[in-house]
Chain A
Amino acid sequence: MTTKANCGPVWVVAEQVDGRIQNVSLQLVGKARQLADELDVPVEVVLLGQGMKDVVEPLFAAGADRVYLGDDPVLNWYHAETYTEMIVSLALKIQPEILLIGSTCTGRELAPLVAARLATGLTAHCIDLKINDQRILEQWIPAYGGLISIICPQKRPQMATVASGVFPLPDMDESRRGELVMLKAPEAVSGRIRTLEVVRREPETVALESASIVVAGGIGAGDEDGWRQISDLARILNAALGCTRPVVDAGWAGHETMIGQSGKMVSPELYLGIGLSGDLQHLIGVAGARVMAAVNKDARAPVFEQVDYGIVADCREFVPLLIEKIRAYRQSR
């Protein structure tokens, strides 16, 4: 491939689970394609796993020019040291200009390990990426009630993590082809960390990303009883149940249901925010909702600046009443 640019390619480190490429990786390839076109450089993807040869096609369809594939039994499960070593040695050779990784559980561990080894900067959970007029990557994150842009002017690659749903899935061009480069897996894996078991449960609830109604609860639920009320509301509305970080911290809900900058991005027809203050880190995850309503005890809560309907009330009193009224409305029809 010829390129006029004097900089390296845009990289995405893709993630697979049980041989399936994750949506966030395809979203990042789509974004990488845009950035690479502006820089006039290729998009390259690094993928590590086992039995992956037949599943790399979507990466090309999403916009990759080249895929570096490590395909080996030792790479089946994510292994911090092995993965880091392979990515770092390849990056030192190829010198990518930009390196994007999904803000997944393993991505959030792998990215800082790679960045430290490459002695470069890493921006967490970006909600937008832009090339500025100096051809530098602006990495936008929410902070202090606004947005700030972080750049990495000197060091390369410019590294960022991005949560699933921040960027849309790109249009898949099945006819696109690219180059598949096989990577050699290390002969021996460091025994300092040994993965004994990886367990994944199928989530029982409606998937947040595809739900047409999302009910999100915050710490205002008060306790587990309050949280149960909010999940009852979600069930009655046939809605997906999401939450804010404090709820995850309190242990009422799992990290996989967290909405926002470092969690899921959703764009339902209706968003109902219950007992949450409306930190930008959370609201950024629901900006795509069509209609938004929020319940909070404090009329000054920032959430009321971002919703269509506001209800000032204690959610513990309000939610049972709302459930009652929804039932009554349905019976009346």
Chain B
Amino acid sequence: MTLQIIVCVKAVPDPAQAGRIRIDPATRTLTRADVPLAFNPLDRNALEAALQIKEKSGARITVLSMGPSGAESIVRECLSLGADHGILLSDRAFAGADAYATSFTLARGIENIGKYDLILCGMASSDGATEWVGPQIASFLGIPAATQVEELTQADSQTLIVRSGMENGYRLMEIKLPALLTATRKLNRPRALSFSGIIKARKKQIVQWGLQDLGLAEDQVGQAASPTVVSAMTTRTARRQVEFIEGSIEEKAEILVQRLAQAGLI
């Protein structure tokens, strides 16, 4: 029986440019910077793990994302990398969701897909950086979760051996399917996009589901269903007056050593 794998991915503001989104000191709101969407880096490790299982023992990979319709390009990218099927949960009502509401909606999306053996997520998103979505999806689905996965092997068709990172070490676990895992960068080296993969993805379908497709009410999703809200913002001002050390690179090293020595630091 083919393993059914669902990979949850997120379109995030391009991490290379995300620094352009700042808090405006005057209005204390976010400056609207035109930052393009990108594939959340750790989700690519999650997808790679799924693709490796597919190559080794066969699997059908469905990619699931929640986001604006622009996030479809990220789902398409997953199909180009080798996923079989894509689903985008997109609805104006989903906007403003915190980790809890996001996890709930994604879990409902997974239930809507129906059968699954393994769910893979990136450990964290580069924008939210909470690490909550993976384990919370598992919680809503009532399946076990292992986070921070660094190594993954299949023991048999229904059991995985998983290594999770720990301070100065690791935990080795045996986990029964169905289960959810969150991927770290150490798990694998994601493959590159290929031209032929992009061509093959032409024939693959991306389905969009909205609120009604999931059988949810407006107050069960998005901001309305999010327990947390942002209550205030502040900008930090520089607390230190920097002295730039000038000169040739060698002089800079020399002067820095002098300064630190004078301050009794070295």
Contacts and interface: CB of A to CB of B under 8 A. Distances in A.
Say whether A and B bind each other: yes
Interface of A: 77-78, 80-81, 84, 104-106, 108-109, 111-113, 115-117, 119-125, 132, 138, 143-155, 190-203, 213, 237, 248-251, 254-256, 262, 269-270, 277, 279-281, 287, 291-293, 299, 302, 304-313, 317-318, 321-322, 324-326, 329
Interface residues of B, number: 75
25 contacts: A108-B131, A109-B145, A112-B131, A121-B227, A124-B131, A124-B132, A145-B23, A147-B236, A148-B230, A148-B232, A150-B230, A193-B146, A193-B176, A196-B172, A202-B168, A256-B167, A262-B129, A270-B265, A291-B265, A306-B239, A310-B242, A318-B252, A324-B253, A326-B266, A329-B261
Contacts of A153: 229
A308 B244 CA distance: 9
B192 interface: no
B54 interface: no
A155 B226 CA distance: 10
A200 B164 CA distance: 12
A138 B242 contact: no
A-B complex: 5 closest residue pairs judged by Cβ atoms: A121-B227, A116-B139, A121-B228, A200-B169, A146-B23
Nearest to A299: B244
Contacts, number: 240
B147 to A, nearest CB: 4
A111 B260 CA distance: 42
Contacts of B243: 308-310
A105 B165 contact: yes
A248 B124 CA distance: 14
B137 to A, nearest CB: 9
B216 to A, nearest CB: 15
B166 A200 contact: yes
A312 B244 contact: yes
Interface stretch (B1-9, B66-74, B98-106, B194-202): B98-106
